[in-house]
Amino acid sequence: MPIATQQQPKSTIDSLKSALKETVISDTSSAITSQAADSSELTDKYSNFAATPATGTEFRAFSTDGKPTLSIREVLEDEQKLAQLGKLVSERGVVFFRDAVISPEEQISLVDKLGKLGGKPADSGLHIHPLTLEGGKYGDEISVISNEFVFDSKFERPKRLRVKGDTLWHSDVTFETKPSDYATLQIRTFPAVGGDTLWASAYEAYDRLSPYYQKFLEGLTAFHSAPFFVEQAKNKGVPVRENRGSPDNKGQHLTNSHPVIRTNPVTGWKGLFVNRGFTKKINELNQDESDHLLEFLFAHVASNHDLQARFRWEPNNLAIWDNRSAFHAATYDLGDDVRIGTRSVSVGEKPYFDPESKSRREDLDSRNKV
């Protein structure tokens, strides 16, 4: 039985069912939410290692253990492997391929397939960033990630930008009604050194809180917004893009409220869903209380380095992550060097909290006891 049907409210189950019906999947048992999508089929068979106990799995470019290497091309052409990869990404937060020759168009296809196999709503497509202007080099569904500009060369960043690293933690586009499920990034222009990306586990961030604190957070919602993007667009006299990968992701305001603890529909696990980039206020608290709580939660993610993994980019590396249950942060230590990559972001479901869902540790512990 799919994990999702065991743990989600009826309305969510219905929307997942209708989404799956409209998705072109030749074999419904290959949906990421089904138990047939067993991530250990990949991790047992192909040369890989866990980046840290908490998060990240890396598929090697060269085998060191006699197992074959896993090619992203092989995954792209095999629906069962795609579903297994999607399950692994949702479980581990982020998956890296060290040898992934992949075009931006294939990145789009990969993340779209992962989102569909994951049962996202039928009208959720790929995200078009509010600052992606029409007529860009790679089209609307690729966000160009650069230390020189913000998604489009029209929106420059200050030269030699140095920012306090812990301020950069975020998950993508949480200001949307329907934010991202899966995302991929490949860096294509490299600095001599620097420009690493870090990921952190939202599951582990939840698991490290005391049961009393967890319960407190489970009753809260938070306000997310992106005034920076609105300001950038206003300064250049252009509107932010509308219909950003879902009919629900519209408007010029870039604001939304989401549960503070979010259930991942693929794993059924609870994770912390506030981030320094976009979360501005806890709705149920007064300003002082909210500032205090958010500061604690942001520091909780940034300062616990053992719930993070750090990735140094080399040519043909690919990262695939689940924005519902992982945070990430770039590193601006490039000096005058340039770092440019292509990112494609799938739009998922409206975030929800299912009180019946489990924590990652609780679930893994109970499986180990069987």
By beta carbon distance, the residue nearest Fe ion is: 172
User: What are the helix (H) ranges across the chain?
Assistant: 3-7, 10-22, 40-45, 72-76, 79-92, 104-117, 202-207, 211-218, 227-236, 287-303, 360-369
Looking at 60, 170, 224, 360, which residue is catalytic?
Answer: 170
Closer Cβ to Fe ion, 263 or 344, answer by number: 344
Looking at 328, 354, 360, 363, which residue is catalytic?
Answer: 328
Looking at 152, 172, 354, 363, which residue is catalytic?
Answer: 172
**282 SS3 class:** strand
Site for Fe ion in 48-107 (CB under 5 A): none
Q: State the minimum distance, in angstroms, from the CB of residue 276 to Fe ion.
A: 12
Q: State the minimum distance, in angstroms, from the CB of residue 59 to Fe ion.
A: 22
Residue 99 appears among annotated catalytic residues: no
Closer Cβ to Fe ion, 91 or 172, answer by number: 172
Q: Which long-range contacts (CB under 8 A, 24 or more apart) does 135-140 make?
A: 138/104, 138/342, 140/241
Residue 300 appears among annotated catalytic residues: no
Closer Cβ to Fe ion, 125 or 277, answer by number: 277
Amino acid found at 82: L
Site for Fe ion in 171-190 (CB under 5 A): 172
Number of chain positions touching Fe ion (CB under 5 A): 1
Looking at 343, 354, 360, 363, which residue is catalytic?
Answer: 343
Closer Cβ to Fe ion, 152 or 172, answer by number: 172
Site for Fe ion in 153-172 (CB under 5 A): 172
For 262, residues 6+ apart whose C-beta sits below 8 A from its C-beta are 202, 270, 271, 272, 273, 324, 325, 351, 352, 353
Task: Please tell me what DSSP assigns to residue 305.
Answer: G
Residue burial 190-225, b: 16+ Cβ < 10 Å; e: rest: bbeebbbbbbbbbbbbbbbbeeeebeebeebbbbbb
CA angle at residue 323 from 158 to 327, to 5 degrees? 60
Can you tell me the distance from the alpha carbon of 139 to that of 56, in angstroms, rounded to the nearest whole number?
29
Q: State the minimum distance, in angstroms, from the CB of residue 323 to Fe ion.
A: 8
Closer Cβ to Fe ion, 79 or 172, answer by number: 172
Q: State the minimum distance, in angstroms, from the CB of residue 53 to Fe ion.
A: 24
Site for Fe ion in 96-125 (CB under 5 A): none
Residue 262 appears among annotated catalytic residues: no
Structure tokens at 129: 């960033």
Q: State the minimum distance, in angstroms, from the CB of residue 36 to Fe ion.
A: 31
Q: Which positions are catalytic?
A: 170, 172, 328, 343
**Footprint of Fe ion (CB under 5 A):** 172
